[in-house]
Amino acid sequence: MNIDPRPSVIEERLKNVKRIIAVTGWKGGIGKSVTACSLALLLAKKGFKTGLFDLDFAGASDHLILGAKGLFPKEEKGLEPPLLEGVKFMSVVFFSENKAVPLRGANVSDAIIELLAITQWGELDFLVLDMPPGINDAALDVMRFAKKAEVLAVTTPSLIARDVLERSLALYRTLKVPVLGVVENMARGTASKSAAARLRFDAGLEAALGSPSALLKTRFCRDLAAAVKTLEL
Ligand SMILES: Nc1ncnc2c1ncn2[C@@H]1O[C@H](COP(=O)(O)OP(=O)(O)O)[C@@H](O)[C@H]1O
Ligand SMILES: [Mg+2]
């Protein structure tokens, strides 16, 4: 008998969220977080009700990319995410106070499930999830609990990243998690065939981190805006 009440609580919490986009990639440092943050900003700018949830316990970084200083969720029958540039923003960093969190796999998974169960997103058109690298217990649990999740897979032109990408896509097929598309980031040459979108390497991106308005003006964001059209988001 399954007496864990959280799956039904999470389902209830996510009931009014139309689409959940899980930005994944099995490697670190390939641009998952900049993609997730920029995607959330672009969708909000287009007038969609948008949420962003940074789920990377070991390397939470969306608060830095978006310059989220002094923000904290409000406790009101659960947790209400603060609003940042029109995006409802939630991060595991709110609960780790920026320290490394020495949690074991099961605990990370538990903490993420707990946060999914208590966060009040309200009505959203899109909830963007910035997923941790790889496919550990926590990542599998997110897919299991957030049943609506569609994967936006980030990769780079590197042979290694592409090989890892193919393996991840095979697993999503097995798990029957829909894949919205593949984004090839830090693209320099011609795009690989499997990529739905191509984000060029942008030397100006680093300087724009910490400022949503500067981020939206980067070539990286312009490339992503074109990708959003291709992916029909
Ligand atoms: N297209 C790009 N052009 C230039 N720098 C990039 C690009 N994509 C990512 N970066 C940089 O690479 C670093 C890692 O990106 P990040 O989004 O944190 O990766 P991940 O979340 O996959 O670990 C960041 O400093 C980011 O600014
Ligand atoms: Mg990241």
Decide the pairing of beta strands 179-187 and 197-200.
Answer: parallel
Q: Can you read off the two tokens belonging to residue 94?
A: 């709110």
Q: What is the pLDDT of residue 75?
A: 87
CA-only gyration radius of the chain, Å: 17
Q: Is the CB of 134 under 6 A from ligand 1?
A: no
> Which residue minimizes the CA distance to atom 15 of ligand 1?
31
Question: Which residue among 64, 160, 165, 205 is best mutated to probe the pocket of ligand 1, counting the most ligand atoms within 8 A of its Cβ?
Answer: 205
Q: Is the CB of 201 under 6 A from ligand 1?
A: yes
Q: Is the CB of 221 under 6 A from ligand 1?
A: no
Q: Can you read off the two tokens belonging to residue 233?
A: 């988001």
CA-CA distance, 205 to 38, in Å (whole number)? 11
Name the residue among 165, 193, 216 with its Cα closest to residue 34. 216
**Percent of the chain having pLDDT more than 70?**
92
Give the nearest ligand 1 atom to 34 CA. Answer: 17
Q: Which domains does the chain have, with CATH numbers?
A: 6-230 (3.40.50.300)
pLDDT in tens, 65-120: 999 988 989 988 889 999 999 999 999 988 876 666 666 667 778 888 888 889 99
CA-CA distance, 222 to 224, in Å (whole number)? 5
Please, what is the Cα angle at 19 between 150 and 36, to 5 degrees?
A: 65
60 CA distance to ligand 2 middle (Å): 6
Q: Is 71 exposed, middle or buried (0-12, 13-18, 19+ CB in 10 A)?
A: middle
pLDDT in tens, 199-219: 999 999 999 999 999 999 999
Q: Where are the alpha helices (DSSP H) in 84-158?
A: 105-118, 137-145
> Which residue minimizes the CA distance to atom 26 of ligand 1?
31
Q: Can you read off the two tokens belonging to residue 182?
A: 């593949």
Q: Is the CB of 156 under 6 A from ligand 1?
A: no
Residue 165 predicted with pLDDT over 60: yes
Phi/psi-derived region of residue 31, left when phi > 0, alpha when psi is between -120 and 50, beta in every other case: left
Q: Model pTM? A: 0.93
Phi/psi-derived region of residue 200, left when phi > 0, alpha when psi is between -120 and 50, beta in every other case: beta
CA-CA distance, 167 to 162, in Å (whole number)? 9
**Percent of the chain having pLDDT more than 90?**
54
Q: Which residue shows structure tokens 């208590």?
A: 118
Q: Is the CB of 30 under 6 A from ligand 1?
A: yes
**Coil, helix or strand at residue 30:** coil
Q: Is the CB of 157 under 6 A from ligand 1?
A: no
Which long-range CB contacts under 8 A does 96-100 form with residues at least 24 apart? 96/57, 96/60, 100/58
